[in-house]
Amino acid sequence: MKTIFALLALAAMANAAIAAPQPVAALPPSHVPINTALVDLGNINVPKASGPNARTVEEVITKRIELKDKTVLVRGKVVKFTPEILNKNWIHLRDGSGSASDNTHDVIVTTNDQARVGEVVVVKGVVHVDKDLGSGYAYKVLIEACLSGCFPTLLHVVVRL
């Protein structure tokens, strides 16, 4: 009987240890704090690109159904750049249009080109809707690069900081 109580007590202690909050490891001193931008992104107000396929970030998101599988031109500020995920670089663009409250202020572009946070760029790509890449990566709207050399996605950098 003592053995059973000892095992139950040991199991209870093990469960308590697993459920207890684990200490968070400190970031190295040279590491940029998480959720902190390297560039002041403050008030973004980027003029709309010109041309028949030019759209604002908000237009791409709110008109995604009618823009599905069509080529668009978007000018915006790079607010996040993530390189080499699924053999693509991922750029988050904002131009000052849209709203954070309804997620119409930020559009994701995939490309083979490089960009830096804070740059204002013009991109050209095809709008894809309800793109599910698996493993929890699903996007309501995504502008994808033409990867077979038919046109560049990152047409030019307007402002380089």
Residue 124's CATH number: 2.40.50.140
What is the share, in percent, of the chain residues with pLDDT greater than 70?
64
Residue 27 belongs to a domain: no
**93-118: pLDDT as tens digits:** 999 999 999 999 999 999 888 888 98
Q: Which residues contact 132 (CB under 8 A, 6 or more apart)?
A: 138, 139
Residue 19 belongs to a domain: no
Residue 9 belongs to a domain: no
- pLDDT exceeds 70 at position 59: yes
Model pTM above 0.75? no
CB 114 within 8 A of CB 132: no
Residue 79 belongs to a domain: yes
Which residues span the domain enclosing 126? 57-159
Q: How many domains does the chain have?
A: 1
Mean pLDDT of 57-78: 95
* Rounded distance between C-alpha atoms, residue 72 and residue 61, angstroms: 12
Q: Which residues contact 51 (CB under 8 A, 6 or more apart)?
A: 73
Mean pLDDT of 42-60: 92
Residue 31 belongs to a domain: no
* Rounded distance between C-alpha atoms, residue 131 and residue 152, angstroms: 21
Residue 13 belongs to a domain: no
Residue 30 belongs to a domain: no
Q: Are strands 120-132 and 88-94 parallel, antiparallel or unpaired?
A: unpaired
